[in-house]
Structure 1
Amino acid sequence: MTIQASLSLSKEKVAITLNEEQGQLTIFYSNDKSLFNPEKSVYLLFKEHALKEVGVAEEKLTTRTSFDTFVQITPPWDIEQNFLAQRFMQTADEAGLKLTKHQHEPIPANYYNSTSAYQEVILTILDKFGFSIKASEKPKKAAPAKAQHRWKKAVSTIEFYVDDFDSQATVIWQKRNEMRIKKGAKLRKDVPLNKDGSLGLAARFTKQLREEHADKIENFVTTEDVVLKSVNEVGHFLYYAGTNSWLVLKDKDGKSIDEWTVVK
């Protein structure tokens, strides 16, 4: 694997910015939590080069786990932090590591391969700096190549429609990390529950998104435009996700947003 990136080194940290807006990771050789950059990101805590904790933090790092080094990962817009953290947890479990446990959103099947591919990039970089998560001895199947989607100005003029899963909406991908749902969108009312009747993580994520925009929703219909960051967030907001939203959003001719933007 060849990874193109820019590197910034100091005594206290190593900052690596991946090319083509594929995110950034910073290795802090310190247990000073105040060094954590105030943005939502995935963090890995190490002690004597052994992984101790994986989580998602926003604004500041709060943990009771003892560590001497921490890694902050800010993935690109199309990689969800919760899914990436969950993938690291799975890899740690496969390696037999006992970590401080956090509850993370399960990875939908249609995001698993892209999340795994991105995790592999991060693991390759960390391994070069002496931080590794030892894989299990079981042979792994080769992961299919990650499907990448790229915003372009021409896409910003296209209206994509949703008319599925008891929801309706018109969506415009107006900027690289801005998806605008036009006012008048109808949101799915019924909440999908776990088998035991409890609220699942996907449903809780949707609940959080809708609460953040509660002033723009009345009787499950948006009264103003709502701007979200990704196709995944749009799927959660409108119909609790649970499917590949890149195939759900389609233009007036039935061409999906995936067909418009996938990098082949």
Structure 2
Amino acid sequence: MDLKVKILKTKTEITLPVNKGSLIITKGKNQSIPTNGIALYLNDGKLAGIQTPPTKVQRTILIMPAWDLESDYLFRSFAEAASENGLNLKQGSDVKIPGSQLKVVQDFRELIMAILGGLGFDLFGTPKKKFKGKPRHRWTKAVSQIAFKVDHDGSHATVYWQKRNEMLIKAGAVMKPQPELNKDGSLGFSARFAEQLRSEHTDAVENSVTTKDIVLKSVNEVGLFLYFGGTNSWLVLKDAAGKSINEWTVVKG
């Protein structure tokens, strides 16, 4: 994920991808909340308040989503996630998230969580032994020689993990033509990212079939490019014997 980051003396500003909005991270209490935004207040790296700051605040994270996502819905989504993780925070507004917006809001919240997780923030203070984070995978020269097949959701391809940060999709790969839409007819975050990824390789695709070898950066990008994601692609790519790329490369222990 490519992010535009500006580190200043008193704050860090992050521009989210695909015009999704921005984040501002500051030390201490920041009560200047934009109209279409929410504030997360942290103590000891853990979420301690949303919108209404607790007595002690070590860090503030201001989230400003794009104009088409209501901040009240995002507030509710973070409050519910906090409650599910055992944090007793004031819930604030009793606004309900419409069914048509639920997936959009959840996708955006997961995007924020992924970014903050990458920066070292564990908002809910989940114990490490219970944290079901992404497993680590190790590339090897031996793995680079294996032809991994994709047969998922109408997509068919042969893929090689040829270098540490290079996934090669062989020419002739069949791509899923259209993504699934949200209930309101809009594209989810993953689908929008996949569309952007596909637009970068239009010269190598004809009628949803690749005409040239295509190199991407990761297994996840391969899944987005071929079938718009929606599943764990580490389990989708399999060798001729049915052994997944996850089984070949996951680091155990």
TM-score (norm: length of structure 2): 0.59
| Aligned residue in 1 for 2:9 | 29
Cα distance between partner residues in 2 of 1:52 and 1:227: 45
In 1, the alpha carbon distance for the partners of 2:189 and 2:63 equals 19
Q: Is the 8 A contact 1:185 1:222 kept in 2?
A: yes
Distance (Å, rounded) in 1 between the aligned partners of 2:119 and 2:202: 37
Question: Structure 2 residue aligned with 1:144, among 108, 129, 132?
Answer: 132
Q: Deviations for 1:215-260, whole angstroms, at most 9, x for unmatched residues?
A: 1000000010111111111000000100010000000110000000
Shift of 1:188: 0.3
Q: Work out whether 1:101 is the aligned partner of 2:80.
A: no
Q: Is the 8 A contact 2:135 2:250 kept in 1?
A: yes
CA positional deviation for 1:47: 3.9
Q: Which of residues 173, 190, 198 in structure 2 aligns to 1:210?
A: 198
- 1:178 touches 1:229 (CA, 8 Å); kept in 2? yes
Q: Secondary structure at the residue paired with 1:247?
A: helix
What CA distance in whole angstroms lies between the structure 2 residues aligned with 1:120 and 1:246? 20
Q: Which one of 223, 226, 233 corresponds to residue 245 of structure 1? A: 233
Structure 1, gaps ≥5 residues long: 1-24, 54-87, 125-132
Percent identical pairs in the alignment equals 48
Secondary structure of 2:176 counterpart: coil
CA apart distance, 1:50: 4.3
In structure 2, runs of 5+ residues without a counterpart are: 33-41, 53-61, 67-103
Provide the rounded CA distance (Å) in 2 between the counterparts of 1:199 and 1:175. 32
Corresponding residue for residue 261 of structure 1: 249
Q: Deviations over 1:52-107 (max 9, x none)?
A: 99xxxxxxxxxxxxxxxxxxxxxxxxxxxxxxxxxx9xx99873048342259955
Contact preservation (8 Å) 2:174, 2:226 = yes
Instruction: State whether residues 155 and 173 of structure 1, in contact with CA within 8 Å, keep that contact through their aligned partners in structure 2.
Output: yes
Q: Alignment length, in residue pairs?
A: 189
Instruction: Give yes or no for the alignment of 1:123 onto 2:82.
Output: no
| Residues 109-136 of structure 1: CA deviation (Å, up to 9, x unaligned) | xx99x959x8287138xxxxxxxx7x69
Q: Kindly tell me: are residues 96 and 223 of structure 1, through their superposed partners in 2, closer, same or farther at Cα, counting changes over 3 Å?
A: same
- RMSD, aligned CA: 4.6
Classify 1:239/1:157 alpha carbon distance in 2 versus 1 (closer, same or farther; 3 Å).
same
Q: Give secondary structure in 1 for the equivalent of 2:162.
A: strand
Q: CA deviation at 1:143?
A: 1.4
The structure whose Rg is larger is 2
Tell me the secondary structure at the aligned position of residue 160 of structure 2. strand
